[in-house]
Amino acid sequence: MSDLVTVAWSILRQPNVWVAFALLCVGTVNQFSRFAKARGWPRDRVYAGRAAAAAMSMALSVTLARVTPGLSVDWRGCGGGTGLPVDDAEAVLNVVLLVPWGVAAAYALRRFWPVFLAGVGASLLVELVQGLLGNGTCHSDDLVRNCVGAAVGAGIGLVLAHVYGSGTTPGTTKGGG
């Protein structure tokens, strides 16, 4: 557990992560709010969507905005691996990274597959950028672990939406229109 906290703290204490988070968060939360309100989404889904935008902003910030020695645009390639074994702090953080986003996004959208596929896309984008810039390592294990986190989060979000949700689908109001 102390390794987990040490690795997380080494990333979260970097000011550039928080600057990137603030910039991404303001932009994505604002755009999502406009999108959801224009479609008449209920308040609980608007809030869940805002939380999803903030969670994805944090995931992108901690993976792409951290300080890395030797940062340059030069393809470094991607490594392969065995997939899911979660045997160190970084592996745990890779699984946990997209869980909050998956929960909030699935609650807002009430759909598993679009949320899961967006999580896959975001993870793939992060891994490719890391392989290009060198601010982390591009590794297939990380992609698999991030996807598992997105799937777990989406599953939890759907359960929460079913139990606590407003009961309307995106794009409709409680009156059905």
Segments making up each domain of the chain, as ranges: 2-68+78-164
Over the range 72-100, which residues count as b (16 or more CB within 10 Å of their CB) and which as e?
eeeeeebeeeeeeeeeebbbbbbbbbbbb
Going by C-beta distance under 8 Å and a sequence separation of 6 or more, which residues neighbour residue 144? 81, 83, 84
CB 107 within 8 A of CB 160: yes
pLDDT tens track, the chain, 177 positions: 678 888 888 888 888 889 999 999 999 999 999 999 899 999 999 999 999 999 999 999 988 887 776 666 677 778 887 667 777 888 888 899 999 999 999 999 999 999 999 999 999 999 998 888 878 788 889 999 999 999 999 999 999 999 998 765 554 444 443
pTM: 0.85
Rounded to an integer, what distance in angstroms lies between the CA atom of residue 177 and that of residue 172? 5
